[in-house]
Amino acid sequence: MGSHDDWLGIYDSAVGGGVDLAALSCPNCAHRALKLVYVYYDDGYAPDRGTAALWCDSCLMGITVGRVRFLGGYPRVLSEKSRRADGGPIPNFEIVIPE
């Protein structure tokens, strides 16, 4: 199973390393089904910052990274509408925590 560091490495590659997320494999199940969506909050405070959700749409594992600047042109979604249950893109995935 992929560690939290493995997931963070994918995040870093996808947002700052010039690597296409679609070309990267899930550290857990090895499928190329990784998704990255930025969640922002309707507080008018920092529209270019929020939480990154990175997950695998195949095994539904992943991480969230808080207080990040939005980089890499990934989709942004308002927090209240971010979950699939609310019509958003983010499923209820299992978060890999640091060891």
Complex with Zn ion: residue 30 or 71, whichever CB lies closer: 30
Q: Which stretch binds Zn ion (CB under 5 A): 18-26, 46-54, 63-71, 80-88?
A: 18-26
- With contacts defined by CB under 5 A, name the span among 6-14, 53-61, 69-77, 81-89 that binds Zn ion: 53-61
- β-strand partners of 99: none
| Residue 15 contacts Zn ion per CB under 5 A | no
Please tell me whether residue 37 binds Zn ion under the rule CB under 5 A.
no
